[in-house]
């Protein structure tokens, strides 16, 4: 299951395209995966499966396996605790069966944008605006009322592929950031405009603070984790918690149990990652994503060996499948690219192995581990989505290793 000469991991089941907030079109995602030596990938765009058909088409041409997927923005609010920043992957889903959820998310996204647009228009016509605007670092130059249609147009025209062709998505992925960048492009003086358009963190934070009134909303439209799991299962997919160790997910107070002595893991009181995932498992969760880390997330990348160890044990305890995911969004920011999961050493350590292995041992172990996971994926592939001959071809390749 690994490339024979380089030990490179060849499966990556978490990546994004222009169908949501990725840089590459679905076709380009597949082409880049192929170039990187990946053989099995899942396209998991945020709240949409729009890119899957295009990716499937390209995957056939490139001779690699594409697992239809999605990443659902879900919330968790129960008597156990609250989690807002961890998402749910649906892997190997029947795209048609998941459409009701996708439609609902499209609708929610648009209605949220409408709220922001209304907020902006109200703000610039308010009595206090002129005086407040003068005192802002990011003051608006000749602001005028805006519309949702105008933002959609603006977004689509800028969403170009590598050949400069606009990506056509009838339901583009509009977020708060889209509005911020639109406002910057239309109403900020040059210099300031570029800072926001280039997504410079400090500038973005200041802007958001100065326009808090426009950018805050009480609308909570995300599905619950229970609903999201149910929707994925109803679409015959596997429900997998994405990057469960990502530190942003702990802002609501979930306890990082891996920071405690190992003998206390899974038994400590309070709302721990374990309690959260145990509850989801009781509601049908199939797996968790391992080995995901983001280079830009300092806190997380420094402790990812420990986090991986914790979640590996947790998965075994709860009988969950485990998946790899780079969460690749294409070449932007400091996020990892596809096929990147940290060093092979940290990967092996996370499996509970010693660091003193020979190169050959490491290769063998990685193959064994991948094979185990691969067998599970073949089963998944067979249930729906991947043609039988394709699965057989992959099974044959496994037995050759």
Among 327, 336, 381, 394, binds Zn ion (CB under 5 A): 327
* Stretch 51-80: interaction string toward Zn ion, x if CB under 5 A: --------------------x---------
**3-state SS, residue 236:** coil
Q: For residue 208, give every residue at least 6 positions away whose Cβ sits within 8 Å of its Cβ, in sequence order, or none.
A: 180, 215
Contact range with Zn ion by CB under 5 A, out of 5-13, 308-316, 321-329, 343-351: 321-329
**CB 281 to Zn ion: min, Å:** 21
DSSP 268-293: -SSSBHHHHHHHHHHTT--EEEES--
Q: Please identify, using beta-carbon distances, which residue of 143 and 295 lies nearer to Zn ion.
A: 295
Q: Write the CB contacts of 276 (distance below 8 Å, at least 6 apart in sequence).
A: 76, 80, 81, 83, 254
CB closer to Zn ion out of 39 and 71? 71
Rounded Cα distance, 63 and 39, in Å: 8
Q: Where would I find the H helices in 211-272?
A: 212-215, 225-234
Determine how β-strand 238-241 pairs with β-strand 287-290. parallel
Cα 7 to Cα 361: distance, rounded to the nearest angstrom:
11
- Nearest approach, Cβ of residue 271 and Zn ion (Å): 24
**Contact region with Zn ion (CB under 5 A), list: 170-178, 185-193, 288-296, 323-331:** 323-331
Strands in 127-180 per DSSP E: none
Binding region for Zn ion (CB under 5 A) out of 137-145, 146-154, 163-171, 324-332: 324-332
CB of 242 to Zn ion, least distance (A): 6
> 149 is written with which tokens?
């249609």
x-or-dash pattern for Zn ion, window 271-310, by CB under 5 A?
----------------------------------------
Question: Between residues 71 and 305, which has the closer beta carbon with respect to Zn ion?
Answer: 71
CB nearer Zn ion, residue 286 or residue 289: 289
Q: Using CB under 5 A, which residues numbered 143 to 182 contact Zn ion?
A: none
CA–CA separation, 93 and 197 (whole Å):
35
Nearer Cβ to Zn ion, position 2 or 308? 308
- Comparison of 54 and 327: residue with beta carbon closer to Zn ion: 327
Residue 26: count other Cβ atoms within 10 Å of its Cβ. Answer: 27
Specify the stretch interacting with Zn ion by CB under 5 A; choose among 4-12, 189-197, 291-299, 322-330.
322-330
- Nearest approach in angstroms of CB 327 to Zn ion is 4
Least distance in Å: CB of 16 to Zn ion? Answer: 6
CB nearer to Zn ion: pick between 71 and 286: 71
Residue 85 or 156 having the CB closest to Zn ion: 85
Residue 90, beta-bridge partner list: 70, 239
Question: If binding is defined by CB under 5 A, does position 21 make contact with Zn ion?
Answer: no
Residue nearest Zn ion (C-beta atom): 327
Q: How far is the CB of 69 from Zn ion (least distance, A)?
A: 10
Of 86, 69, 68, the C-alpha closest to 77 is: 86
CA–CA gap between residue 29 and residue 330 (Å, rounded): 8
Q: Give the nearer residue to Zn ion in terms of CB position, either 28 or 71.
A: 71
Which of 294, 327, 379 is CA-nearest to residue 71?
327
Q: Specify the stretch interacting with Zn ion by CB under 5 A; choose among 91-99, 291-299, 305-313, 327-335.
A: 327-335
- Other Cβ atoms closer than 10 A to 218: 5
How many amino acids of this chain bind Zn ion (CB under 5 A)? 2
Contacts of 100 (CB under 8 A, 6+ apart): 231
Q: Residue 257 or 327: which CB sits closer to Zn ion?
A: 327
- Name the CA radius of gyration of the chain, rounded: 22
- The distance of closest approach from Cβ of residue 172 to Zn ion in the complex, given in angstroms and rounded to an integer, is 17
As a whole number of angstroms, the distance between CA 380 and CA 398 comes to 16
Residues of this chain that bind Zn ion (CB under 5 A):
71, 327
């Amino acid at each position: 299951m690994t490339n024979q000469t380089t030990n490179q991991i060849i499966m990556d089941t978490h990546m994004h395209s222009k169908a949501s907030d990725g840089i590459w079109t679905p076709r380009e995602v597949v082409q880049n995966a192929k170039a990187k030596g990946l053989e099995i990938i899942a396209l998991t765009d945020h709240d949409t499966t729009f890119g899957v058909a295009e990716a499937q088409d390209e995957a056939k041409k490139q001779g690699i396996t594409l697992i239809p997927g999605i990443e659902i923005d879900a919330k968790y609010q129960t008597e156990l605790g609250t989690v807002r920043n961890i998402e749910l992957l649906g892997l190997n889903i029947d795209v048609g069966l998941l459409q009701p959820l996708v439609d609902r998310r499209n609708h929610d996204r648009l209605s949220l944008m409408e709220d922001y647009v209304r907020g902006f228009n109200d703000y610039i016509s308010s009595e206090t605006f002129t005086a407040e605007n003068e005192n802002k670092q990011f003051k608006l130059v000749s602001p005028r009322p805006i519309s949702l249609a105008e933002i959609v147009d603006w977004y689509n025209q800028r969403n170009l592929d590598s050949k400069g062709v606009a990506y056509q998505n009838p339901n583009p992925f509009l977020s708060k950031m889209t509005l911020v960048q639109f406002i910057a492009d239309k109403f900020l003086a040059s210099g300031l405009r570029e800072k926001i358009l280039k997504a410079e963190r400090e500038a973005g934070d200041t802007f958001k603070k100065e326009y808090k009134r426009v950018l805050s909303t009480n609308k909570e439209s995300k599905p619950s984790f229970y609903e999201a799991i149910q929707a994925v299962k109803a679409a015959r997919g596997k429900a997998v918690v994405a990057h469960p160790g990502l530190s942003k997910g702990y802002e609501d107070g979930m306890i990082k149990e891996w920071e405690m002595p190992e003998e206390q893991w899974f038994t400590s009181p309070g709302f721990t990652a374990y309690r959260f995932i145990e509850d989801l498992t009781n509601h049908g969760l199939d797996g968790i994503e391992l080995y995901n880390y983001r280079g830009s997330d300092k806190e997380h990348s420094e402790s990812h060996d420990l986090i991986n160890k914790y979640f590996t044990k947790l998965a075994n305890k709860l009988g969950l499948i485990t998946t790899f995911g780079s969460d690749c969004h294409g070449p932007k920011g400091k996020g990892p690219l596809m096929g990147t999961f940290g060093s092979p050493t940290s990967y092996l350590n996370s499996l509970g192995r010693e660091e003193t292995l020979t190169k050959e041992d490491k290769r063998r172990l990685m193959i064994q581990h991948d094979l185990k996971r691969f067998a599970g994926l073949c089963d998944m592939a067979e249930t729906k989505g991947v043609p039988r001959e394709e699965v057989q071809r992959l099974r044959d390749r496994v037995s050759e290793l």
